[in-house]
Chains A and B, each alone.
Chain A
Amino acid sequence: MEGLKEYLTRQDFVSSSEVRWCPGCGDYAVLNAVQNVLPRLGIPKEKYVFVSGIGCSSRFPYYLDTYGFHSIHGRAPTIATGVKVANPELSVWVITGDGDGLSIGGNHLIHALRRNLDINIILLNNRIYGLTKGQYSPTSEKGKITKTSPYGVIDEPINPLRIALASEATFVARAVDTDPKHIAEVLEAGAEHKGTSFVEILQSCVIFNKKAWADISDRAARDDRLLYLEQGKPLIFGEKRNKGIMFRCADPAVVTIGEQGITKKDLLVHDMHREDPVYASILTRLDYPDFPLPVGIFRSVKKPVYETELEGQIKEVTALKGRRNLQALLRGSEYWTVSGNGQSIKRSSGISSLANDESQVMDEQAHLLLSSTDPLTASLKTKVGKIFYDYDYKRTKILSPRDSIGKAIANFKAAHMECILVGDEKRLYGILSERDIIQNVVLTSIDRERLPISAIMRPIYEIMDETNSIADVINILSISGHRHVPIRLKDGGFGLVTIRQILRFIHDTVEQVEKKEAETK
């Protein structure tokens, strides 16, 4: 492979297609840099694949004499993933832009980055939709006037590098279109990185966003406004190379070497190999005019590569289970029969007969969860009807909503009830507790003999069935915040289950459990 470096040249990667970008577009600089880097990598020409989405930059594959795929809007990372997984020998490159990569394909980009395939992603960021003639993009700065933001952008712009870091990208870098030599250095390092390399290239759109990065990318201002990150070297910038970045109370600050006794040794030293992404993340926060804008490699760490992991897994499972056949799986014995408008679903016997079958394992897990052997939790599956009858059911009383409050009071006093149901045999309208009576009778001067219960009752939260479990009732009591739940009785009418009844049941169960434990000991 090394020998290839000798005979492949830039010219080998220039296609016969006429390059059709606007004169002055930064894409030219990036294309040139890419064409310069490819022959240096020692990879045979036929192993290169360039995949793009939609946008000006996505015309890249036409202009490179390699394999290429001008694909669907935002989906270049996805197609590249498929290409790389299917043939890991290929050198796969994704060309995308700020709209294609961060808006339409934002989700696809994130997942390609976190998987860490050994591919290279170049995102050209001109902060505008150029191809569609000047709509604001996810990286357009606030206040920017565009065709779709005539009064200024009000969206917070995305920082592509921070997206990459948050997606656990293992190689994160930035370059500027006005410095092609630096672009080539960064791209070469990215190509040699084992894992996904993500490189943001800042560029202008000469027609729709000419001054996208003018503040920092103009040659005259570059030395003072860009911070070139160099591995193992202090963060120094400025035309006179006398300014630097250091930490002050955990925040980065610009300092001048030689002032206030500051020397080069006080400055932050760049280390792109830090596992922790926090340092790289702090660098992404630096921005002109408060700071110089950092360019170069922010982060480069080693992590397992997706296609290698996948290949290993396939080998391992194939060794264990043999090679599976997709057609056989589709026509195999695993199927369900749905009949009677979905009333009955039957599965083929083939499924459970499979040895080590996943669904069987899951069923066993679910069974374990549902059939607790612990006596207390098992007891919570008791039907609530049982505690209704076993614990003081006589205290349930139903009054008509037309009955007077005075009648309700008489009932509370006579039977030591906590709560009264309001309704009839067929329907419940509400519920009335001691609290409702007290707060209305003591604090207001209502006529308790004439006003009906319906005036002060509260609505029913939920009516349960006798067949519901105690666990269901506790669940409803917890959610509703009530102390009582009405239940519909099998032989008609309604009953009331209270927290006190449930606690009594738990108390008795706990006693039984402890008694049994004592006996077995």
Chain B
Amino acid sequence: MAPTRKKQTFWSEPIGKVDLQKAAVVPSGTTIVDAVKEMKYNQIGCVLVVDKNGKLIGILSNGDLMHEFVGSTLPGDTPVDAIMTKEPFTGTPSLTVKEALEIFHTEPFRHMPILRGNQIQGILSIRGLMTFISEHLPLEVMNLPPDSSLIAARTSGE
């Protein structure tokens, strides 16, 4: 049964095939509070910051907020530009799953903007990447009984 399925090659698939998350985007100069509202509204753990021309200039994540804003003296109406990560790490749709794994292996962030030219295609998150991988392994990962001790070794029990 195995030969027809390409089990071993999912990691050479392009990121373009992964369901990317819709990005939350705010213009440069937006206040930190408004940026967090935007994140909450979009149910995503980061927000992208763009300039007048729509070009990506920064990213603000929950991690940035935790370390740069919470507990600091900055007021909530400070522009996001003050604490965002400038010139963030980005990928293109042609990036492979293997390369993405590599990036998340070495870099600390959980969200990576995917760009086609200057256009924002969406966000590749570690969750999206894991879901994509698990979809390639329906037998081994997706369709499991809730308790793995319930998997019978023989069809007739025993």
Q: A474-B141, A478-B131, A507-B102 are in contact. Are A359 and B156 (CB under 8 A)?
A: yes
Q: Are A478's CB and B137's CB within 8 A?
A: no
B8 neighbours in A (Cβ, 8 Å): 374, 376, 513
Q: Is A393 an interface residue (CB 8 A)?
A: no
| Per-residue B-contact encoding for A332-346, CB less than 8 Å = 1, 0 else | 000010000000011
B157 at the interface (CB under 8 A from A): yes
The minimal Cβ–Cβ distance linking A503 to chain B, given in whole angstroms, is: 5
Rounded to whole Å, the gap between the CB of B105 and the closest CB of chain A is: 5
Query: Which residue of A377, A435, A503 is within 8 Å of B126 (Cβ)?
Result: A503
Per-residue CB proximity of B62-79 to A under 8 Å, as 1/0?
110111011100001000
As a 0/1 sequence over residues 396 to 421 of chain A, the CB contacts with chain B under 8 angstroms (1 = contact) are: 00000000000001001100101000
B69, A442: Cβ atoms under 8 Å?
A: yes
Judged by a CB distance under 8 angstroms, whether A10 is at the interface is: no
Asked if A437 and B40 sit within 8 Å, CB to CB, the answer is: no
Which of A362, A437, A474, A500 contacts B134 (CB under 8 A)?
A474
**How many residue pairs at the A-B interface have CB separations less than 8 Å?**
135
CA distance A499 to B104 in the complex (A): 11
The B91-126 residues at the A interface (CB cut-off 8 A) are: 98, 101-102, 104-105, 108, 110, 126
| Interface segment out of the listed A120-128, A278-286, A363-371 | A363-371
Given the known interface contacts A366-B155, A442-B33, A478-B131, the answer about A499 and B66 at a Cβ–Cβ threshold of 8 Å is: no
Chain A residue, CB-CB nearest to B155: A362
Give chain A interface residues in 363-397, CB to chain B under 8 Å. Answer: 363, 365-370, 372-374, 376-377, 380
A344-358 vs B, CB cutoff 8 Å, 1 = contact: the mask equals: 011100010000000
Interface magnitude class on chain A: 35 or more
A503 to B151, CA, bound (A): 25
A434 and B101 contact, CB distance less than 8 A: no
Distance between Cα atoms of A347 and B141 in the complex (Å)? 31
Residues B40 and A347 in contact, CB atoms below 8 Å apart: no
Q: Which of B39, B65, B133, B148 contacts A468 (CB 8 A)?
A: B148
By the criterion CB–CB under 8 Å, are B66 and A437 in contact? yes
Contact of B7 among A376, A438, A468, A478 (CB under 8 A): A376
Are A500 and B66 within 8 A (Cβ)?
no
- Whose C-beta in chain B lies nearest to the C-beta of A436? B62
Chain B interface size band reads 35 or more
Residues on the A chain within 8 Å of B152, using CB: 366
Q: Which residue of A lies closest to B100 (CB)?
A: A503
A365–B1 CA distance with the chains assembled, in angstroms: 9
Beta-carbon nearest neighbor of B61 in chain A:
A434
Q: Which residue of B lies closest to A504 (CB)?
A: B105
- CB pair B141–A475 under 8 Å, yes or no, is yes
A370 and B142 contacting across the interface, CB-CB below 8 Å: no
A441 in the interface (beta carbon within 8 A): yes
For residues 487 through 521 of chain A, which have their beta carbon under 8 Å from a beta carbon of chain B?
Answer: 499-500, 502-504, 506-507, 510, 513
Q: Bound state CA distance, A449 and B71, in angstroms?
A: 11
Contact B71 A472 (CB under 8 A): no
| Minimum CB–CB distance for B43 against chain A, Å | 9
Residue from B2, B98, B130, B158 within 8 A of A510 (CB atoms)? B98
Contact A471 to B141, CB < 8 A, known contacts A363-B155, A477-B130, A506-B101 = yes
Taken together as a complex, chains A and B put the C-alpha atoms of A222 and B15 apart, in Å, by 67
- CB of A380 within 8 A of CB of B137, answer yes
Least distance between B26 CB and chain A CB atoms (Å): 14
- Residues 127-158 of B, flagged 1 when their CB comes within 8 A of A and 0 if not, give 10111011001011110100010011111111
Contact A374/B7 with A345-B158, A439-B36, A443-B33 known, Cβ cut-off 8 Å: yes
Interface residues of B in 6-21 (CB under 8 A from A): 7-8, 11
Please report the C-alpha to C-alpha distance between residue A507 and residue B130 in the assembled complex, in whole angstroms. 11
Give Cα A193–Cα B158 distance, bound, in whole angstroms: 50
Separation of A506 and B97 alpha carbons in the complex (Å): 11
A483 lies within 8 A of chain B by Cβ: yes
Q: Is the CB of A377 within 8 A of B33?
A: no
| CA of A370 to CA of B137, assembled, Å | 13
Decide if A256 is an interface residue (CB 8 Å cutoff). Answer: no
Q: How far is the CA of A434 from the CA of B67 in the complex (A)?
A: 10
- CA of A116 to CA of B139 in the docked complex: distance in angstroms? 37
Question: Is A103 among interface residues, defined by CB-CB distance under 8 A?
Answer: no
A469 on the B face (CB < 8 A): yes
Note all chain A residues with C-beta closer than 8 A to B148.
468-469, 471-472
* A228 to B100 Cα, complex, angstroms: 69
**30 A-B contacts (beta carbon < 8 Å):** A345-B157, A347-B158, A359-B155, A362-B156, A366-B153, A373-B2, A374-B2, A376-B7, A377-B139, A409-B70, A412-B66, A418-B110, A438-B39, A438-B70, A442-B70, A443-B36, A443-B37, A471-B140, A471-B148, A472-B144, A474-B133, A475-B134, A477-B130, A478-B130, A478-B131, A478-B141, A483-B126, A500-B104, A504-B104, A510-B11
Given A413-B66, A504-B105, 14 more pairs with CB closer than 8 A: A362-B156, A367-B153, A369-B1, A373-B2, A435-B45, A435-B62, A437-B70, A438-B66, A443-B36, A471-B137, A472-B144, A483-B110, A506-B133, A507-B101
What is A's interface to B at a CB cutoff of 8 Å? 336, 345-347, 351, 359, 362-363, 365-370, 372-374, 376-377, 380, 409, 412-413, 416, 418, 433-435, 437-439, 441-443, 468-469, 471-472, 474-475, 477-478, 483, 499-500, 502-504, 506-507, 510, 513
Using CB atoms and an 8 Å cutoff, list the residues of chain B in contact with chain A.
Answer: 1-2, 7-8, 11, 32-33, 36-37, 39-40, 45, 62-63, 65-67, 69-71, 76, 98, 101-102, 104-105, 108, 110, 126-127, 129-131, 133-134, 137, 139-142, 144, 148, 151-158
Counting from the closest, the 10 A-B pairs by CB-CB distance are A434-B62, A507-B101, A362-B155, A377-B140, A442-B36, A507-B105, A475-B144, A499-B126, A471-B141, A438-B65
